[in-house]
Amino acid sequence: MSQETNYDRRQFMGTMIKTFVAAEFGVLGVAGAQTKKSVSVRTIKQGSGASFGPLKQINAGDLSVGYAEAGPSDGKPVILLHGWPYDIYSFVDVTPLLAAQGYRVIVPYVRGYGTTRFLSSKTMRSGEPAATAADTTALMDALNIKSAILAGFDWGARTGDIIAALWPDRCKALVSVSGYLVASQDSQKAPLPPSAELQWWYQYYFATERGMAGYDKYRHDFAKLIWKIASPKWNFDDATFDRTAASFDNPDHVAIVIHDYRFRLDLAKGDPKYADINKRLAATLAITVPTITMEGDANGAPHADPSAYAAKFTGKYAHRTITGGIGHNLPQEAPQAFFQAIVDVDAM
């Protein structure tokens, strides 16, 4: 199922959020027959100065997790998960929209970003998918959240996919940008066509010691290049990028990023504590929870066509391609569309 959405780019005032949400964002009902609908939605102007309130910190599993929280404490929990090289500010405009609808919104820094820190110097600095999934469920336990709507992109979408596949009781519903991202090391060993391999140039760069040293030295410039490649039509300003880039100064950032990409190519071993999870990920796993997948029409990062993964979602399911030059960082580039997908998947 597909929903095509068009966006103009007119600014609206933050003080009108509640009124606008009530007037413009009724549930669309996407879980039934195939739909194709064009919706004109006003978007928030980039660099508008939106920010989170004071961040919180909580011990969860191996980490002291830094996170933003908004909305009523008794609201339905929504956990927003970022990827690389991004951070919690990908959701800075989505969060108040959800809070105004009565959701309890949790936006954590992934291990290796922002104020999230390891509790022990002895813990392996692993970036493997199983680790970030385990981190999220540990955070939910620490916050006494039994089940939540999970929504994310890039590494965050992968994390949500894994939790929905392995522990569906922890995931009420799922919004996943770029679809089904669950993969084992074995499944990633097969070579891709040259044009596809070219898109993963940085993965091979990171496989070398030169690449690790280069990313450490130039992480700010490297991340900015990735932003431009992954979202070629997104005219973000320096202030928007610099706000996120500050989170890469985390002392474990480089180790986590490099391990993630080396682990994918079986060039680095995983943390033994996640061996059971990795064994389960080697199987073909269906996602049964209500899901909306999304894709920007100008996503410059490697991604599959929606038809390639639709069958992986065996529960209530819909796909939305967001038009208007939307790239890889979909929540920040099209916050209203991402917000609406969360509201709609909750109603499935």
Domain edges within the chain: 2-24+35-346
Please state the rounded mean pLDDT for residues 241-270. 96
Q: Is 170 left (phi over 0), alpha (psi -120 to 50) or beta?
A: alpha
| pLDDT value at 185 more than 90 | no
Distances (CA, A) of 88 to 57, 70, 139, 141: 14, 13, 15, 20
Q: How far is CA 28 from the centre of its chain?
A: 23
CB 140 within 8 A of CB 169: no
Query: Which tens digit of pLDDT belongs to each residue from 74-106?
Result: 999 999 999 999 999 999 999 999 999 999 999
Tell me what percent of the residues of the chain surpass a pLDDT of 90. Answer: 78
Position 284 scores a pLDDT of 75
Distance in angstroms (rounded) separating the CA atoms of residues 66 and 135: 12
**Mutual angle of helices 129-142 and 155-166, in 10-degree steps:** 70
Query: Which tens digit of pLDDT belongs to each residue from 120-174?
Result: 999 999 999 999 999 999 999 999 999 999 999 999 999 999 999 999 999 999 9
Q: Which of 225, 84, 223 is nearest to 155 (CA)?
A: 84
Query: Which tens digit of pLDDT belongs to each residue from 293-338?
Result: 999 999 999 999 999 999 999 999 999 999 999 999 999 999 999 9
Q: Is 49 left (phi over 0), alpha (psi -120 to 50) or beta?
A: left
Q: Which range, of 42-51, 113-122, 128-137, 237-246, averages the lowest pLDDT?
A: 42-51
| pLDDT value at 59 more than 50 | yes
Token output for 59: 């011990």
Give me the phi and psi of 320, to 5 degrees please. -130, 125
CB 346 within 8 A of CB 171: no
Token output for 291: 């899901």
Q: How far is CA 346 from the centre of its chain?
A: 18
Q: What is the DSSP letter of 82?
A: -
Token pair 């108040």: residue: 96
**Three-class SS of residue 313?**
strand
Distance in angstroms (rounded) separating the CA atoms of residues 294 and 335: 12
Is 3.40.50.1820 the CATH number for 2-24+35-346?
Answer: yes
Q: Which range, of 6-20, 133-147, 225-239, 271-285, averages the lowest pLDDT?
A: 6-20
